[in-house]
Amino acid sequence: MDAFTYQKGELYAENVPVAKLAEQYGTPLFVYSRTYIRDHFRALARAMAEVDTLICYAVKVNSNAAVIATLAAEGAGADVVSSGELLRARRAGVPADKITFAGVGKTEDEIETALRENILLFTVESEQELERISACAARLGATGRVAIRVNPDVDPKTHKYISTGKKENKFGVDILRALQIYERAAALPGLEIAGLHMHIGSQILSAQPYAEAAAKVAEVCVELKKRYPTFRMLDIGGGIGIRYRPDQEPLLPPALAEAVLPILKPLKLKILMEPGRFIVGNAGVLVVRVQYVKNGPSKQFVIVDGAMNDLIRPPLYQAHHEIGAVRETPETVFGDVVGPVCESGDFFALDRHLPAVRQDDLLVVHSAGAYAYSMASNYNSRPRAAEVMVCGARHELVRERESFEDLVRGERIPIW
Ligand code: LLP
């Protein structure tokens, strides 16, 4: 489904006019479609139905409680990278036995929190981390179920900042050393060898790197299954790419399944996946209001009330986000959509043919459901935006706009 469509020239979020949401909740405003999120989760689950699959939504992608709860209600687990995310997932209704904990830098505190919660799996990135989990588990009298993250050295053909499965990346352990590291894990107390993990990158638009990486780790899994009777899970990570440009072909679940299922099925393991962007990316838009229109010598600057602190992907990854007018207009202008932050990097679009808008008109920045609010900051002392969820004709505020009090909470001026 398309969550955002025009009806008689007006942009709707499901069955609600976006202009009405902007009026009621103010701008900048993130709007998420619950139906889209649910349908995308279901589409992936359906495509993978031939194997026992647990889809652990990657909480970093959009950590709003309403988003996590929508997925938890569908039976999703959660992939977390900090105790903050772990507690968010638990609070939004994800059972601990569906939670995986990823990340290269887990602290002792975080490991202990996860052990106390008795989560499903730690995806482990180094030998030192194995030792630390073992020591924490021994101290607590708990067991840490572990999957070692193996770096299969496959090129996911994505932006270099979000490629993680090549040997020059900091993630995982060298596939050639994997068996040796599992031996080390087997010798440590408090650990259970439960699985193997891979995650090769994000915004991957072809099934081929997945198949290549899966084939490489499958060989290791066969050996691990022989050696360790507790070895039962293969986590193939996230990374499914979405459409940011109208002419882009997204990677769809059936194509992914067709490529990986022939490799995964014979393993007879429980398959874990950690998608994020695929589920929520195009479920969201950022609604902004035009503050000023300024004509420069070669182009127009449309200055809006949202900024790089709300959505940093364009300057950070040279990412393309479609821009649309909330009230359709046939006229276009050439120029940039920029925010009020004091940086030339504060833009949503550069050198584009844009809908011709005037002061006080509304624009939307598309594909803002993933890595937008979750990467937002308070730069320039800008309070973070509000978030609204829509479901059919219903809509509800799912996070309040921050206030000045929120901005300064916890700050102190020393008496000296
Ligand atoms: N699992 C692990 C271990 C991850 O590191 C990530 C994302 C995911 C799953 C979810 O990946 P997804 O299905 O969403 O591609 N901020 C960047 C993307 C960073 C990706 C970080 N890891 C962006 O805005 O493009």
Any ligand 1 atom below 6 A from CB of 274: yes
Supply the pLDDT for residue 164.
74
Q: Is the CB of 317 under 6 A from ligand 1?
A: yes
Residue 228 Cβ inside 6 Å of ligand 1? The answer reads no
Q: Which atom of ligand 1 is nearest to the CA of 237?
A: 1
- Clarify whether 391 is annotated catalytic: no
CA 238 – ligand 1 centroid, Å = 7
| Residue located nearest, by CA, to atom 8 of ligand 1 | 238
CA of 309 to the centre of ligand 1 (A): 19
Name the E strands within 153-280: 173-174, 191-197, 233-235, 270-273
Task: Tell me how far the alpha carbon of residue 146 lies from the centroid of ligand 1, in angstroms.
Answer: 20
Pocket test for ligand 1, best of 274, 278, 367 (most atoms within 8 A of CB): 274
Which of ligand 1's atoms lies nearest the C-alpha of 239?
Answer: 15
- Centre of ligand 1 to C-alpha 276, Å, is 7
Confirm or reject: Cβ of 239 under 6 Å from ligand 1.
Answer: yes
Q: What number of other Cβ atoms are within 10 A of residue 36's Cβ? A: 25
Any atom of ligand 1 within 6 Å of the Cβ of 238 = yes
- Answering whether pTM is above 0.95, one says yes
Tokens representing 339 are 């925010």
Q: What is the pLDDT of residue 166?
A: 72
316 lines ligand 1 (CB under 6 A): no
Using the structure block, give the residue that is written with the tokens 């206030």: 403
Give per-residue burial for 269-297: e unless 16+ CB within 10 Å, then b.
Answer: bbbbbbbbbbbbbbbbbbbbbbeebeeee
Contact 363, 288 (CB under 8 A): yes
The Å distance, Cα 168 to ligand 1 centre, comes to: 18
Q: Does the Cβ of 241 fall within 6 Å of ligand 1? A: no
Pocket test for ligand 1, best of 40, 61, 375 (most atoms within 8 A of CB): 61
pLDDT of residue 372: 98
Q: Is 321 in the pocket of ligand 1 (CB under 6 A)?
A: no
- Of 381, 309, 361, nearest to 22 by C-alpha is 361
CA of 165 to the centre of ligand 1 (A): 12
pLDDT given for residue 131 in this prediction: 98
- The domains of the chain, with CATH numbers, are 4-32+281-408 (2.40.37.10), 103-273 (3.20.20.10)
Q: Rounded CA gap, 302 and 98, in Å?
A: 45
Q: Does the C-beta of 201 come closer than 6 Å to ligand 1?
A: no
Angle formed at CA 266 by CA 265 and CA 268, multiple of 5 degrees: 75
pLDDT (tens place) for every residue of the chain, 416 residues total: 799 999 999 999 999 999 999 999 999 999 999 999 999 999 999 999 999 999 999 999 999 999 999 999 999 999 999 999 999 999 999 999 999 999 999 999 999 999 999 999 999 999 999 999 999 999 999 999 999 999 998 988 777 777 777 777 778 899 999 999 999 999 999 999 999 999 999 999 999 999 999 999 999 999 999 999 999 999 999 999 999 999 999 999 999 999 999 999 999 999 999 999 999 999 999 999 999 999 999 999 999 999 999 999 999 999 999 999 999 999 999 999 999 999 999 999 999 999 999 999 999 999 999 999 999 999 999 999 999 999 999 999 999 999 999 999 999 999 99
The pair of three-digit structure tokens given for residue 326, joined into one six-digit string: 């909330």
CA dihedral for 351, 357, 362, 364, sign (positive or negative): negative
The pLDDT value recorded for residue 1 is 74
Contacts of 112 (CB under 8 A, 6+ apart): 136, 139, 140
